[in-house]
Amino acid sequence: MNNLLTIPVLLPMLGAALTLILGRRPRTQRLVSILVLLGVVAAAGTLAWQADTQGVQSLWVGAWPEGFGIALVADRLSAIMLTVAGIVTLAVLVFSAGQEEDEVRKETPVSIFHPTFLLMCAGVSNAFLAGDLFNLFVGFEILLFASYVLLTMGGTGSRIRAGSIYVVVNLLSSSLFLIALATTYAAVGTVNLAQIAQRIPDLPEGTQGIIQYMLLVVFAIKAAVFPLSAWLPDSYPTAPAPVTAVFAGLLTKVGVYAILRTQTLLFPHRPLTELLLVIALLTMVVGILGAIAQADVKRLLSFSLVSHIGYMVMGIALASIQGLTGTIYYTAHHITIQATLFLVAGLMQRVGGSSNIDRLSGLMTTSPLLATLFIIPGMNLAGIPPFSGFIGKLGLLNAGVAADTPLAWTLVGASVVTSLLTLYSIAKVWNRAFWGTPVSFTTEDEEGEDEVHPGRPMPAVMVLSTCALIAFSLLLTLAAGPFYAYAENAAEALLDGAYGLAVLGEVVP
What's the burial of 431, exposed, middle or buried (CB within 10 Å: 0-12/13-18/19+)?
exposed
Please give the mean pLDDT across all residues of the chain: 86
**Candidate from 25-34, 199-208, 439-448 with smallest mean pLDDT:** 439-448
Give the angle subtended at the CA of 10 by the CAs of 178 and 54, to the nearest 5°. 95
In this predicted model, which residue has the larger pLDDT, 435 or 392?
A: 392
Q: How far apart are CA 23 and CA 491, in angstroms?
A: 44
In this prediction, residue 240 carries a pLDDT of 79
Mean predicted confidence (pLDDT) in 4-16: 92
Could you write out the three-class secondary structure of 415-465? Answer: HHHHHHHHHHHHHHHHHHHHCCCCCCEEEECCCCCEEEECCCCCCHHHHHH
Give the H/E segment covering residue 61: strand 57-61
Q: Is 448 left (phi over 0), alpha (psi -120 to 50) or beta?
A: left
In this prediction, residue 507 carries a pLDDT of 40
Q: Given pLDDT bands bounded at 50, 70 and 90, which one contains residue 66? A: low
In this prediction, residue 145 carries a pLDDT of 86
- Cα–Cα distances in angstroms (integers) from residue 505 to residues 6, 267, 352, 401, in the given order: 18, 22, 58, 39
In this predicted model, which residue has the larger pLDDT, 467 or 362?
A: 467
In this prediction, residue 509 carries a pLDDT of 38
Q: How far apart are CA 427 and CA 96, in angstroms?
A: 28
In this predicted model, which residue has the larger pLDDT, 91 or 457?
A: 91
**Candidate from 41-55, 67-81, 105-119, 360-374 with smallest mean pLDDT:** 105-119
The model's pLDDT over 367-425, given as tens digits with 9 standing for 90+, comes to 889 989 999 999 999 989 889 989 999 999 999 999 889 999 999 999 999 999 999 99
Give the H/E segment covering residue 222: helix 205-223
In this prediction, residue 27 carries a pLDDT of 83
Q: How far apart are CA 148 and CA 125, in angstroms?
A: 18
In this prediction, residue 101 carries a pLDDT of 46
Q: How far apart are CA 245 and CA 346, in angstroms?
A: 9
Q: Given pLDDT bands bounded at 50, 70 and 90, which one contains residue 110? A: low
Q: At residue 340, does pLDDT exceed 50?
A: yes
Q: At residue 103, does pLDDT exceed 60?
A: no
The answer to whether 473 and 337 have CB atoms below 8 angstroms apart is yes
In this prediction, residue 108 carries a pLDDT of 52
In this prediction, residue 154 carries a pLDDT of 65
This prediction's pTM: 0.90
Give the angle subtended at the CA of 205 by the CAs of 203 and 209, to the nearest 5°. 100
In this prediction, residue 452 carries a pLDDT of 43
Contacts 24+ apart (CB under 8 A), 83-86: 83/41, 83/44, 83/45, 83/47, 83/48, 84/332, 84/335, 84/336, 85/44, 85/121, 85/124, 85/125, 85/128, 85/250, 85/253, 85/335, 86/8, 86/37, 86/40, 86/41, 86/44, 86/45, 86/121
The torsion angles phi and psi of 227, rounded to 5 degrees, stand at -95, 20
Q: How far apart are CA 350 and CA 240, in angstroms?
A: 11
